[in-house]
Amino acid sequence: MAGGVSTPELAAAVSDAGGLGFLGAGYKDAAGVAADIAAVRSHTARPFGVNIFAPPGDADPDAVARYEALLRLESERLGVPLGRPRHHDDGWEAKLDVAAAERVPVVSFAFGCPPRPAVDDLHDAGAAVWVTVTTPAEARAAARADADALVVQGVEAGAHRGSFDDEASGDIGLLALLQLVRAQVGLPLVATGGIATAEGVAAVLAAGAVAACLGTAFLRAREAGTAPVHRASLGTEDPTALTRAFTGRTARGIANRFLLEHSADAPSAYPDVHHITAPLRAAARRGARAQRPRPAAPLGRAGARAHARRVGWGVRGGAVGRRATRAARRRRALALGRRPFVALRRTADHHRPLGGSVTAMPRRKMSQNCSAMARWLIRPRGSYHCGA
Ligand SMILES: Cc1cc2nc3c(=O)[nH]c(=O)nc-3n(C[C@H](O)[C@H](O)[C@H](O)COP(=O)(O)O)c2cc1C
């Protein structure tokens, strides 16, 4: 799990518990990835994996500029400047080189499939290559590229969809996808999305997976680098939704105000949008302000009016009243349980971290350390699972 959640300590703890811990290479430079690999090795002699983002497709600069302009009021409200949009491949070649040079046992990929020569190089370095797929077509492409295993990601999964093409992102549930992929591709399948209990692990094994991959379930582990505000949100019943609002790539996150107000406008433009919103997200982590349902008189009367117009609230005589604008209609649709523009799910007694999925880990288990939790997950069949 990229973004500081999958620490070397977490990856090592999962591996030590009998799973296969993963380091997220995304958002880091190659030197940082190499340092993390060294840190895992200082904690454990067990195998582990590194997850690398495949290079993104092109982004439309005009669409990026339009979204940036829309976010300016957000930036003024929070008093945080927007980040500069940048388009890049996240150090793709350099990270492949590090993974090969460090002889990482398993190298997994999200957002696309490495080309055959890159897979061959990793094989020559002794690595197994796993590719995240969200559709049967992606599974066939990964098999043609000589992947060793497929990480079959259902739409339930927390955070980014691993789809090859964000514009053609698969929205198939895990159980259906496992069956579809298994019918077409003979590779070992690692199931991921919405699994957080021993019974969930047993279910995907029964459906033909050789292992289960869990993300959200580890976000509250002591070893995880999860921000306190995200940890706190684990216990809420807020629904999750798919959105591009935060990074320009489809991801499942908690349906907070920012997500609800910006999903309809957010372009498919990763990592450009990720860089624009990064300071806003950092501020939200510090102050949890993005979670607040309504802004408190942010910019004086003129600013409040401008912001209110933008987000669909009317200002009358200094009071903020509701108006039948698009944002309000979205909220109303949500309240009525309809699907306004994003897929939403609501279930009881679940944890929903920001960027996390809907899963059912009892809170007692969530607060335990990673090793204890991993052993509990492994219980049903002595099989293994992996943390992303
Ligand atoms: C905070 C967070 C960060 C994630 N980062 C990555 C990542 O960098 N690469 C990746 O392939 N998957 C990433 N994932 C997705 C997981 O690998 C996995 O598919 C997903 O968490 C499974 O769904 P679950 O959260 O319901 O367990 C991330 C998930 C979360 C919750």
Domain locations along the chain: 1-55+90-237+357-388, 59-87+240-345
Tokens of 309: 């117009």
Interval 91-107: pLDDT, tens: 999 999 999 999 999 99
Residue from 26, 312, 322 nearest 159 by CA: 26
Determine the pLDDT at residue 259: 96
How many degrees, rounded to 5, is the angle at CA 174 between CA 169 and CA 176? 95
Q: Which CATH number applies to 1-55+90-237+357-388: 3.40.50.300, 1.10.3720.10, 3.10.310.70, 3.20.20.70?
A: 3.20.20.70
| 288 band by pLDDT with thresholds 50, 70 and 90 | low
Determine the pLDDT at residue 373: 53
In the DSSP assignment, the letter for residue 330 is: H
Tokens of 108: 């997994």
In the DSSP assignment, the letter for residue 387 is: E
Interval 148-159: pLDDT, tens: 999 999 999 999
What atom in ligand 1 is closest to the CA of residue 132?
11
Determine the pLDDT at residue 319: 26
What atom in ligand 1 is closest to the CA of residue 192?
22
* Gap from CA of 308 to ligand 1 centroid (Å): 34
CA dist 279 to 61, 84, 274, 303, Å? 20, 10, 9, 21
What atom in ligand 1 is closest to the CA of residue 109?
11
pLDDT at 273 over 70: yes
Q: CB count, 10 Å around CB of 338?
A: 11
* Gap from CA of 160 to ligand 1 centroid (Å): 7
pLDDT at 257 over 70: yes
Mutation probe of ligand 1 site: the residue of 1, 150, 178, 270 with most atoms within 8 A of C-beta: 1
* Gap from CA of 192 to ligand 1 centroid (Å): 8
Phi, psi angles (nearest 5°) of residue 245: -60, -30
Q: In this prediction, what percent of the chain has a pLDDT beyond 70?
A: 74
H helices of the chain, where?
Answer: 8-16, 30-43, 61-78, 92-101, 116-124, 136-144, 174-184, 198-206, 228-233, 257-262, 272-287, 300-311, 326-335, 363-366, 370-378
Tokens of 191: 């199931």
Residue from 271, 267, 275 nearest 244 by CA: 267
Residue from 220, 232, 6, 264 nearest 110 by CA: 6
Cβ neighbours of residue 211 under 8 Å, at least 6 residues apart? 20, 188, 190, 191, 205, 383, 384, 385, 386
pTM of the entire predicted model: 0.80
Residues framing ligand 1 (Cβ under 6 A)? 1-3, 5, 24, 26, 51, 110, 132, 153, 156-160, 162, 192-195, 213-217, 355-357, 359, 388
* Gap from CA of 382 to ligand 1 centroid (Å): 23
Determine the pLDDT at residue 327: 54
Mean pLDDT of the chain: 81
Interval 309-362: pLDDT, tens: 333 332 222 222 233 345 555 555 555 454 433 323 322 222 333 344 433 333
What atom in ligand 1 is closest to the CA of residue 158?
25
pLDDT at 121 over 60: yes
Interval 169-201: pLDDT, tens: 889 999 999 999 999 999 999 999 999 999 999
Answer for the pair 380, 204: CB distance below 8 angstroms, yes or no.
Answer: no
Determine the pLDDT at residue 86: 97
What atom in ligand 1 is closest to the CA of residue 230?
1
* Gap from CA of 162 to ligand 1 centroid (Å): 9
Interval 230-247: pLDDT, tens: 898 877 888 999 999 999
